[in-house]
Structure 1
Amino acid sequence: MVYNYGYGNKPPKYLVNPDLLFRYQGMEEVKRQLGRHIAVEPEWEAGFTLQIQLRHILAMFQDWSSSNDELLLLAFKECHSVLMQCNNQPFHREATDYYMCKHILHVRPYKVSQEPVSIHLPISRLLAGLYVLLCGKGIIDRLDNPESYDFTQLAELPLRCVVLAAQVSAEMWRRNGLSLVSQVYYYQDVKCRDEMYDKDVLMLQIAASKMDPNHFLMLILLRFELFEYFNGSCTSKDQDELRQWNRLTEEMLYLLIVVIGERYIPGVSQVTKEDVTVREVIHLLCIEPMAHSSLVKGLPENESHETGLESVITKVATFKKPGVSGHGLYEVKKERLMEFNPFFYHYSRSQHSKAEESQKKRKAQEGNDKALPPPLPPAFCPAFSNVVRLLCCDIIIHILRHVLQRAVEDRPVNWTEAMIQRALHLIGQALLEEKTQLEESTVEEVTFDFSLKARIIGSEHGKSVFLLLYKIKALPSLEAQKDMVKWVLQMFEIVKCLREKSSPTVPMSMETKPEESAQDKEKAERKRKAEAAKLHRQKIMAQMSAMQKNFIESNKMLYDNMPESGTQGEPVTSTVSCAMEQRDMCIAIGPQRGSTIDDREVLTCILCQEEQEVAAQAPAMVLTACVQRSTVLTQCRGKIPPFRADGPGTLYPLYMPPELTVGTHTGSCGHVMHATCWQKYFEAVQNTTRNRLHAELIIDLENGEYLCPLCKSLCNTVVPLIPLEPLTFNYENAEIIGQHLTLPRWIQILSARIKGLKSVTQDNEGSSGIGNTGLCGEGQPDFRSILSYGVQEPRKFSDSITEMLVVCATTVHRVGLKTAPNELCPRVPVMAWNTCAFTIQAIENILQEEDKPLFGSLQNRQLAGLKAIVQFSASQRLKSSQAVIQRHFTDMLGVLLPALSRKNTPSLLEVDCFHLLVGLVLSIPSLYQEEAVDLQPSAVSSAYNHLHIFHLVTMAHMLQVLLSSTDFPEVEAGEETEEARAAAEFHATVSQHTGRLIPDASSSSLAERVKKGIEPFLCCAALFFNCLTGVHPPEELFSTSVTSQGQMEALCSYLALPSNVFQLFQDHRDTVTPLLQRWCGSPAITKALKGKTQTVRYPRRRNRLIDLPEDYSALLNQASHFQCPKSTDDERKHPTLCLFCGAMLCSQSSCCLSQLDGEDVGACTAHAATCGAGVGMFLRIRECEIVLMASKTRGSTYPAPYLDDYGETDPHLGRGNPLHLCPERYRKLNQLWQQHCILEEIARSLEVVNVMFAFEWQML
């Protein structure tokens, strides 16, 4: 297409294939469709594909031609010759004379709306480019016979193309379909505009510089089909036709603004390519602050795919660093804002509106007026200097007067605000030009006389442009343009003064005095009205206040009785005293537990918007919830325990291993519905989803999934809202009972009860050991002794709450154990307790990671969900077999009381103490069940049950910490405290029982080590008992400013522990000594202490995503050395990094397929099943993107945490900029994982990205 000639070679006859351009000129003509809509969309992509291919070739050809003057002249002549041979657009009629304002234009008639027209004009545009190069080099005069060039004919085709775009914008070509809209879009788009739209504008500027300005404007009006409209010989009452005329007038005025004002073209004015890029960047940033990539997309590329942005960006903009979720933005410098042109010719309609709104908003914030005047343009080169004559010719004055007169007549159908805005801009351009010339030359030398002609009274109703502007200023319908009109009138005065060579200040003040006095009057009137309104409001408020006082005085009896009726018979003092007592007694468990405020909770259903009180006997209200398996807290990643839901002797889930290998997390978005509303909604979702292909990708109907109706979070169950049980606590009775119900007596009573229940149920398995160790003392209590310390009837729930308890428990059981739904399975209550414990541990982990206080920092949705889960777990036992729960309680208690243990009961080092605590607390009420009567412990009995269970579990956990510790912190030597002495005694006792297998340490470091180890357990226990009992915690737990020692003391106080936790072993020495001996004597513990088995260290390691290198090139280098372990070929692989454990995997490759549940899956899917319990977060290194996975069939991409110097990600490494790790973004990814929001993020992503065909995530 381009012959390969060097710059120094003799130029050939023509360098670009003329036959190709000849055939390309005028291809794919279109004709306006009338009557019916086009039946078949015509082909249009081929023409633009060719244009995109030719774009850089034509640009390089022009650069090459300009290297030699003779070559450039020859290229221009040949191009002109070929253009004259083109006859794609023949005129079908003879030339006609057209008259306007005493001027005559002799031209052939042609209407774009009726004749064929093409958008492809490569020869005309190449000619325009070559002409500018001739002007730039100053050799335009060397053309042979330059007067022979018919510039009216040269401008004809580009003008038609511009008019076509204007008519499409005016919706005159709606019946031609989408193909024409697409062509016009690409015609003005950044990919094509430099060799299409820009060159058409350039050709019009060339014609304007050579033609008579009146003739040029008459030609414009003719081709826009507005000639008769502005000549006054065309009237219409048709609304559509008037609307079209208005839109075409807007487009015509806009074209004049562009032809006159767009001078940033080398050769048209004295500017460089860098100046052009600077102006483009300024106008892009005037729309809004932009990222580097957005700026690059908005700028045209050269043949080397460069935009020139880097060389100019620092001159025009400042860079604002990115935040956590956003990207770095460039903001235009204030000193560059004066170059803003609201009618910049590369703006689309939407960009124009956004830029105008943005700049007006900025000006209002700065306290300035909202006028957006035209910027001062660079001067035209001599060859184009005649273009400015358009602004002072007779026709432009006529056009402006006609437009302004229409507005003054104030008939909305005859004008639009956009027309006036463009007319004002044109007037501003003219006045700026006149002002510039008057400042650079004497008045006698200046022939530009727009201001004089604008003051001349015209033929239409005797109004000049100047007087019409004053009338427009007073129009209420043009209030938005008032500031611009003021600026124009000021410019008129400045130009007038320049012509008179006098200062503008005095005449301006004299002329504007009436205007200012009118403004003052208007302001005074507004102020008077505001004062009157204020006085009126004050008078009304005073009257209302007096009426209220009179009503209260006359109804004293009613107001005296209000507290009784408002609190259902309880005096106000009782509530106040209760609140004071609660503050004084911030103790969650035991006989001194604080009071629970009985808040009446009224919630609104998000579906039906009806309010309802949450009550045990009321219809159920539910929280949306999502249950999922989790390995967030695991201490042995990749080792999910194998188990069978029906397998005999399976330890999990009854005993959660201390590694927390896999847990069941229940989260909620906190939105409330009636149970009946949710059921109807869920049924509707099922019915509609089955008919939608895409929805199947988002939600899994078989697993009961749905999206929250309000926030679209992924859910798979609901949690019933159950109010706190009303507290009737007798402190005097509790104190009396406490004298008898000591820890050893409590153990005796429990043992007797368990033994009796086993004998009743004819199940003597494991009962032979009861009472053989002396733990229960001499003489066993009676089977029913436990009932003597207080019983009550269990809570009664409505049928709908009972039903929702079953729904939630079944989902937790099904998801947690990956088994079929079975509400009768004995593990259902166990999984309810487990999800309660694990969810609390996950929340405590988040709070510690984010350095937030234990209370007061949870989001409302998290707090509401946590309370609901705890109350659900406590109430679920009422729907299960009490015998099953009794058996579970006995098995769990066997870990603490070896007398009750079975053969498969694990040792202390093999269980998680917090799961054990939750299970024991929530299952102990089952011991109070009698054969004929449903009973549960009274508030006092529950308080002692909770206290003794918690003390036992705490002591067991302290032993866990000591047995698993190998390193002890160094503590400054000082006076030995009571706590240190108690810790040393505890260590000595344990060391004796373990055969001196535990390491020695100082008493102070022992105390610190154990306290630090049990602190997470105590935090979880505080959250649990707070949600269970509702007792307000101490204020110290609401602040992070409290010292570690202060927080530990507050926790101990809230949980009824001595501040010296080692005091527990001394207070219960007689009871605990034999227990310690049995606990330490376990063979499993001996193995662990000898190093034969691994043990968990406390506090547990807090999991985070793996450490990534700061420079992304390090990851790329690591990936380049990656070799698939199962493949020997050199085929390119897709190395993918697991962010949970750091494993490098071979994704999307057949070599690493494996079997999972009988299906072939990719390496990432198989890895996620063991590493994240089905959830995965992977970094695809060569693509530089994160992949989130939630199951074998569901996943989504997520921006990588690596940013370039401009604060942007680079998906697929398309831009190739150096990338660096963003700690804030990586921290956000870590939170996404730890807060169990990956499933939610995937669902949101799939909903936004509407894909018709699912990606095969299982093959990743």
Structure 2
Amino acid sequence: MSVAEASHQLCRAICRIMKAICDWNPRLPPYSSENKLLVKEPVSFHHSFHWLLSELFEHVSLLQEETLRDNGWLNGFTQMVNCAFEQDSLATFMTVLDYPIRTIALLSQINCAVWVRNGYSVRNQAYTYKDINVRENTLDRDIYLLQVGFVVCDSNQLLLSLIDRFQLMDWFKGNPKKHSTVYDSNQKIFMVEELLNLLIICATEHGYASGTTIEQRIRRAIVQHLSLTNLSYSELTKLIPGSLIECESFEAELNKIANFRAPDGLSDKGMYELKPEYLDEIDPYFWYYTRNNREEAHIALRKRWNQLHPEKQVSDKEEFLVQPKPRTIQTGPFQHLGNFLHSKIFTQILVYALWNAKMFKQAKSETILDEALYLGMLAVNDPNHTEANFFKHAVEDEYAIQVNEIEKTHANLVTVLLRCMDDDQLSHIHKRLGFIIDNIEQSSTQKAKSVIGAWKEARNRLISSKEQDNSSSNDISEQERKKAAAKARQAAIMSQFATAQSKFLEQHADLYKSDEDEEMKDLDEEDQDTIMLSSSNNDSDIVRKCHFPVDNCIVCQEELDGNKLHGMLGLVQRSNIQRLSPVTKDVWAEILETANHSCNPWGEGGQESNDKGAFTGFPVSSNLSGVDISSCGHLMHAECFENYQNSVNQESLFQRLSQRPPESRFLCPLCKAAGNVLVPIVWKGKKEIYPGVMAPTTSYEDLNKTLKALALDVNQRLQSGADNLTVVEQDSNLMIADEEKLKFFYNKLMKAIYKAMKDKLSDSAIDLRESLLQLYDMYAYTIGDREIAQRGTEDTRTRDLMVEHTGTFIDDVPKASQTLLKILSMTNLLVPKLMDSPWQTDEPKMKEVILHKQLNQMIPQLPNEKPLLMDDPFKVLVHLGFSTADQPAIEPHHLMRVLYLAELAKTVIGIAQCISNNERLFRDPRLSNLLARLCSEQQRAKGTEKVQRFVDCVLGWIRFSDRQTVYDKINSRGFIALLRLFTLPYLRKSFLLMVVHHGFIPQSPMDDLMKETPSEYDHLLKILRLPDFETIFDLNLSEQELMTGWCTDYMSDSTKSRHISLGLPTKYRLTNLPYRLDYLLDESSKRICRKCNTVPEHSAICLICGTFVCARRMCCYEDNKGECNIHMKRLLSIVIT
């Protein structure tokens, strides 16, 4: 049979199939593009005639224009298709396409969870319809029919039909907020994404339309799947249609474009890896890709680009321009398939896709932007069209767009593109926008060229004016800038204070009502004193009262007016959150990587590299235990608390696990947060002042002398026989309704701390001195936990507008946590004055004993339990802050500054010990390169000579014998980077301590200040009024005396190891997991449980330490607890019951 005869027979078959479809439903109404509700119309996944028709259209070699003209169809393919409907005026090819369109729309609705309650059967059909084993004869056939429709039918009508069947007509008319009877807002966005993806597939998938050979289709399928990841043969064949796998040339094509990696062992399997030269053929919108696959394809393309262009690498956070690579269809009926990209409706789709995603919260979607821009790039780049009408429509066709809530305007596509370019929030798509705009400017009309040219000139003028403004602003004198910044800060602080006060009075005015004139008079005086200003030479002293929360009891709903004891629910528990820095390759690699980003060590720039292997977690042995307290912030009467806790304990008697002690945990009745204590609130508020403790009145140089005088005085008091009775001072701010009950709850708080630390409660009486020290330790540990929790979280949470913005990490510390710390601060000062029972102590002068111990640690050459350099300087600062609260001669700022020096000295010793004792570890190529980069990239660091002199002095004072080994590995620039990294947590914790304990009011940040101090470290030094990093090492005589004494104490400590463990200064991370889930599942089938030494049938992985444990098995049970709970208790000191 000749080609002409075969073509004639094929065309006859096509016409007969289309006529059969029309005869199948003889009562067809006139076709309408609108008002077709898919949820009410009949729809089916099974339409065999359509699939047969699609398969006939696949023979494009027999449908060439010349062949069709020889057979009598002078107008070619379009005439041949439409001739089947000449005898039926109501039928068109659009009528044939209606059922495939409905099916594709229904599939999209199923994917976005529309058919959940009443679509069980249809969902099962959908899974089969798109299954890889059959979709070549189902879904692929329907998509190919759509491509035929774009060639035969009017593109505008077909696009309108698609929009209507997807039920998105209002969305593409500029009304994305209009309520839909079918979709919620998220489902509507998903449907838009599905429609745009369908249009991309119709424009780019040329497998059938271009008449490609079976070998080309095999190659394309293998390239697209192997480009994402290496696959075994069985895994690859599950992703490719069976007709391609059964082809004889499949194996040859696979071996041609992929390398085979043989298995390593019995449990491994051979993998195929795509050859690098074929990575350029990746199509991110391959029609078999899922959404995740498209993301992986973009990553693979970016990685390939970076390999080929090492000098122009694109980071993960930068926009990577993926240009479409449409293939030209040389012959056949689909030469002009891309005509629909140049239709009016297509331009309208782009306009509203971009504008709605830019302007409306209900329509924001990065996927919509990506797909719309990809379609736009296809329109300006696709060669398969007759006339480039897209450029004309982009300039001449205008559409109504909503600018804001009340304003509408008309704009064309070029205007929308330019507005998106002016939006800084869309900077991540500017490269793609620029690509489309540049192509329109080159190929469009003179009107478009003039509009785009005028916009570019205006943009260049704006950029140049900004540069001039920046240069002129730099000419302002530094003195004037500081004056303006100080005035602005004061104004901002006063504005925030006024707002906070007015808001407080609006919410709690009823609490201050009284029928007595005297009480009203006292209240007026107190409110007048809430915010005061008193001028001084340098600063304006601002005094205010931070009011503690007052609300209704969450149990009885009565007002908490101070007549009954009330408090805040809290949870006291043992914690292993804080960590030391173990000397391991992974930990120190992350430390050195973080130190290389000195300005923002925990930001995006300080992310760890991908060199870290999978399943590497943090070693459990380096956790630092302590007691932490947290609160949900809800309030309750003390009496209601007792009743509620008793009811919880009684209920536990009827439960299966009734071994819990009486003081067990409970759930907050309101928010279901765990708790076990009630922290009493017996104050109206806490006095706060700016600059307060940051402006000491005594000389810092006299600190050593002052400490010695105080130590002498305390020692004399201890040796004297007289007892100093502690009496609670009369304070209008203090509201103690029931002193005995208050003591009872303080006793319960101390028992909870003791139990959390000891894991059991002794029957003997608790020592008051030990209890106070545990209170102080808990306070220090809790502040450390809050500091760790905020590492790398700046600007990631919604900011509370009623809280002063400080531009520091405490902006993200929850308000409830700050309030709890302020209450605990006052609790720690009240407890030693109030409590004399039920504790029994042999030390009648308990406060003096605690203070004497702390002073002995601070003052060199006095007997002490632990040298200062072996202790945590911040914990010492907290202890001294409470112990010296009634000693006005001891300034908290002076203590913070001198202990900052102790932290620096301790860090120097710790770094030197790590490098000296682990010289072999630091020879590792990765660590060696990171250390070398650290020492070289800090060349502009200031104060290198002073730092080197300080390091020499400290190591000399402790007679460190291996200094040369340390200096060979790290120079002064490296020491600067590591010192700043390791001591940054001390500054952050000290700042939080000054705010919550000493009542310091942080300043509002100003742009000038933030520009002058780009790094958090320098910013905190300015706020805390500490010397600059390069000048802190200019030690005065008092500091030198203290430093040499501390080093002498350190060397004289012969009973214990002199090894100094430094705190972990990096951002906490979970265990590294493989990028793909199948790798994780494969690895879990190989890992052995350390407890039972078997491969778990159902395994679980600890995301903290990376350990695989048994799950859902009885082999590792202990005391009715599975291994997951046992591991959690061992790791975090908690257990879920």
- TMscore range, shorter length: 0.3 to 0.5
Larger radius of gyration: 1
After TM superposition, the score normalised by the length of structure 1 is: 0.42
After TM superposition, the score normalised by the length of structure 2 is: 0.46
